[in-house]
């Protein structure tokens, strides 16, 4: 941890992201004693006084707020009403800030305007820019935003946040693959039949129409988070976790990734939930949720099958899927191995595939395989070995902020990777816009629409 004093300036301080994820992550980091001496400044359109802002911070920090450094940060924290798309307001906010971290907790269009305005401001030494997903809305808008950012600070000082990279089991993929000899030699097209990366949630829209109705499941989850997991699962071993080296490897994997079979009609599914009951809650149809424009045809569940077209993975389908309001929600990467080439005659009874599963909530690792089980010694039975990791020391936003304060961009998405992620999903988005893939329906609280690629279990 660096001991240089820093200022965390949150643009969009009154928003949902700040209260729900960013401040709780900061509180946990401060309570863990892992943050530098910090000044916290909130800025937003709302006319708040400092007391109102501090109360929001206290609420968001929860129990962490009583830790010594957290209490000090709260006490000294200030709030400024500002139009963050105006250079004069940004200049005022940055006046006297030490090595500022500017966190854009804002929608993409406002972030782009705020960055534009920053080109007219002399940025203090050591300024870092932290941008939320979605980073742009297409490969070309992401490329323009990247060009704009290079006019502000060097790439190592740009942190494109993907909080999935701060999740402990996502980071655990590195240890599972590259610190063991057991799994890595099997992770090739010779042994792997298929891979699924599934993040189904029992959460529904939860009042986020303003953002979600313009994003939909593919931009919200697949284009960002699930492609990052795919990159971690398919990358070659980095020499070190030096950010340049690590991100070269993940970018290389993304560059090899394209739509399976090249036809979105065959390789994608889109759907949205209708009314239903989920965990005792009656949910309205998505189209009837407050703030939703039904004519937009926003999907609440997306599934895309991809190929990672390189020597190691050619021929293995990778299916990425995420849905809202799904019952028994699964959050796992499931690597399904090919069957044993031949089971000796005489062994009988069970032929379920071997699987390695990496869970992203609950955080766990499991291996499903076949043994001669109890009873009849020649009858085969399935067994599962699993490891429960429990939560990481810090919530994902705590990890992300630790990287930013330490000037370590490893957990942030590099500019070229952000463009690649859009490039991968664009043929699907185009086919959806053209109506080539039907928008299916599934009742909230069901398992989602039927999909030929689906593995239940
Ligand atoms: O499970 P987590 O860590 O909250 O992440 C899932 C969330 O990730 C966010 O980035 C998405 O915008 C949400 O729609 C989603 O619910």
Q: What is the ipTM of this complex?
A: 0.99
Q: What is the helix (H) or strand (E) element at residue 129, kind and residue range?
A: strand 128-131
Distance 198 CA to ligand 1 centre (A): 13
Atom nearest to 331 CA in ligand 1: 1
Atom nearest to 361 CA in ligand 1: 1
Distance 250 CA to ligand 1 centre (A): 21
Number of residues assigned to the chain: 457
d(CA 422, CA 200): 21
CA dihedral defined by 129, 132, 134, 136, rounded to 10 degrees? -20
Contacts of 407 (CB under 8 A, 6+ apart): 2, 128, 156, 157
Distance 338 CA to ligand 1 centre (A): 32
What residue ranges do the domains of the chain occupy? 6-132, 165-443
- CA 229-231-237 angle, 5° bins: 120
Contacts of 259 (CB under 8 A, 6+ apart): 267, 268, 304, 305, 306, 307, 424, 427, 428
Nearest CA to ligand 1 atom 13: 220
Q: Report the DSSP pairing between strands 78-81 and 38-44.
A: parallel
**Residue ranges of E strands in 351-431:** 355-360, 363-372, 380-388
Distance 428 CA to ligand 1 centre (A): 22
Q: Which CATH architecture is the domain 165-443 placed in?
A: 2-Layer Sandwich (3.30)
Is the pTM here over 0.90, yes or no? yes
Distance 164 CA to ligand 1 centre (A): 9
Nearest CA to ligand 1 atom 7: 221
Atom nearest to 215 CA in ligand 1: 12
Mutate to test the pocket of ligand 1, among 168, 217, 223, 225 (most ligand atoms within 8 A of CB): 225
Q: Please report, in angstroms and rounded to a whole number, the separation of the first and last CA atoms in the chain.
A: 42
Mutate to test the pocket of ligand 1, among 198, 213, 220 (most ligand atoms within 8 A of CB): 220
6-132 under CATH 3.40.50.720, yes or no:
yes
Rg (CA), the chain: 23
Q: What sign does the dihedral 319-325-330-331 (CA atoms) show?
A: positive
Distance 308 CA to ligand 1 centre (A): 25
Exactly one of 64, 159, 163, 225 is catalytic; which is it? Answer: 225
Mutate to test the pocket of ligand 1, among 21, 221, 321 (most ligand atoms within 8 A of CB): 221
Distance 310 CA to ligand 1 centre (A): 30
Write out residues with Cβ below 6 Å of ligand 1.
201, 203, 220, 361, 396
List the chain pLDDT tens, one digit each, 457 residues: 677 899 999 999 999 899 999 999 999 999 999 999 999 999 999 999 999 999 999 999 999 999 999 999 999 999 999 999 999 999 999 999 999 999 999 988 899 999 999 999 999 999 999 999 989 999 999 999 999 999 999 999 999 999 999 998 899 999 999 999 999 999 999 999 999 999 999 999 999 998 899 999 999 999 999 999 999 999 999 999 999 999 999 999 999 999 999 999 999 999 999 999 999 999 999 999 999 999 999 999 999 999 999 999 999 999 999 999 999 889 999 999 999 999 898 898 888 899 999 999 888 999 999 998 888 889 999 999 999 988 888 999 999 999 999 999 988 999 999 999 999 999 999 999 999 999 999 999 999 997 544 555 4
Atom nearest to 133 CA in ligand 1: 10
Mutate to test the pocket of ligand 1, among 167, 201, 223 (most ligand atoms within 8 A of CB): 201
Nearest CA to ligand 1 atom 8: 221
d(CA 236, CA 430): 31
Tell me if residue 214 is catalytic: no
């Amino acid at each position: 941890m660096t001991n240089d004093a820093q200022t965390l300036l949150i643009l969009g301080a009154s928003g949902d992201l700040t209260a729900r994820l960013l401040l709780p992550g900061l509180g946990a980091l401060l309570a863990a004693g892992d943050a530098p001496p910090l000044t916290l400044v909130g800025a937003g359109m709302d006319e708040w006084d400092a007391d109102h802002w501090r109360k929001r911070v206290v609420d968001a920090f929860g129990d962490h707020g009583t830790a010594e450094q957290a209490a000090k940060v709260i006490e000294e924290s200030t709030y400024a009403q500002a139009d963050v798309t105006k250079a004069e307001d940004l200049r005022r906010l940055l006046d006297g800030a030490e090595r500022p971290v500017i966190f854009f907790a804002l929608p993409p269009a406002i972030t782009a305007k705020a960055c534009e305005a920053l080109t007219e401001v002399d940025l203090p030494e050591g300024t870092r820019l932290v941008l939320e997903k979605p980073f742009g809305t297409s490969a070309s808008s992401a490329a323009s935003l990247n060009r704009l950012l290079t006019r502000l600070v060097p790439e190592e000082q740009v942190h494109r946040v993907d909080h999935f990279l701060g999740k402990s089991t996502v980071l655990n993929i590195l240890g599972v693959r590259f610190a063991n000899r057991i799994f890595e030699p099997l992770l090739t097209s010779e042994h792997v039949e298929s891979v699924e990366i599934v993040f189904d949630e029992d959460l529904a829209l939860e009042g986020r129409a303003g953002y979600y109705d313009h994003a939909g499941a593919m931009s919200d989850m697949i284009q960002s988070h699930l492609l990052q997991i795919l990159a971690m699962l398919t990358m070659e071993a980095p020499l070190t976790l030096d950010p340049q080296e690590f991100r070269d490897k993940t970018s290389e994997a993304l560059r090899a990734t394209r739509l399976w079979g090249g036809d979105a009609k065959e390789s994608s599914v889109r759907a949205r939930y209708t009314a239903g009951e989920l965990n005792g809650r009656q949910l309205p149809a998505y189209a009837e949720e407050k703030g939703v424009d039904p004519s937009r045809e926003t999907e609440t569940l997306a599934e895309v099958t991809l190929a990672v077209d390189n020597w190691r993975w050619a021929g293995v389908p990778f299916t990425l899927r995420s849905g809202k309001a799904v019952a028994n929600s699964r959050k796992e990467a499931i690597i399904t191995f090919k069957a044993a080439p031949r089971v000796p005659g005489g062994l009988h009874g069970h032929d379920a595939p071997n699987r390695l599963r990496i869970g992203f909530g609950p955080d766990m690792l499991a291996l499903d395989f076949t043994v001669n089980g109890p009873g009849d010694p020649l009858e085969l039975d399935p067994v599962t070995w699993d490891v429960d990791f429990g939560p990481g020391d810090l919530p994902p936003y705590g990890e992300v902020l630790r990287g930013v304060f330490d000037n370590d961009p490893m957990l942030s998405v590099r500019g070229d990777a952000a463009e690649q992620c859009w490039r991968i999903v664009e043929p699907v988005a185009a086919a959806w816009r053209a109506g080539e893939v039907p928008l299916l329906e599934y009742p909230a609280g069901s398992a989602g629409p039927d999909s030929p690629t689906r593995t239940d279990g």
